Amino acid sequence: MARFKRISDVYEMKVFTDSGYFFGEIEEALIEGNAIKSWKIKAVPGSLLSVKVKDAKGVIIPQKFFKAFGDIIIIQDIDLGSNQEAKNIEE
């Protein structure tokens, strides 16, 4: 597992689902007490997130959905609802 000296080292890192789809980029960490509670992921052009939540700038994902941190970040597949354009990105 990668070790980060500063939380700012993960900002703008690419986030992928465990199925391999580009989900978005880390924008912010939400800290409660002395631990990271969740992460704000921004929707960037070409990401699955930008297709799923067109009007939003991003989403907040709880820490428990994060599987791996390294050169990229891998999260558990998250159902954000379905629409036809999201299916097109998978094809």
Q: Where are the domains of the chain?
A: 10-90
**What's the whole-number average pLDDT of the chain?**
83
Compare 55 and 91 and report the one with higher pLDDT.
55
Condensed to tens digits (0 to 9), the pLDDT of residues 43-82 reads 999 999 888 887 888 999 999 999 998 889 999 987 766 5
Among residues 32, 33, 39, the alpha carbon closest in space to that of 73 is found at: 39
pLDDT at 76: 92
CA atoms within 13 A on the CB side of 74: 9
The C-alpha atoms of residue 4 and residue 79 are separated, in whole angstroms, by 29
At the top level of CATH, the class of 10-90 is: mainly beta
Q: In which band, very low, low, confident or very high, does the pLDDT at 88 lie, cut at 50, 70 and 90?
A: very low
CA 1 – CA 68 distance, rounded (Å): 7
How is residue 64 annotated by DSSP? Answer: G
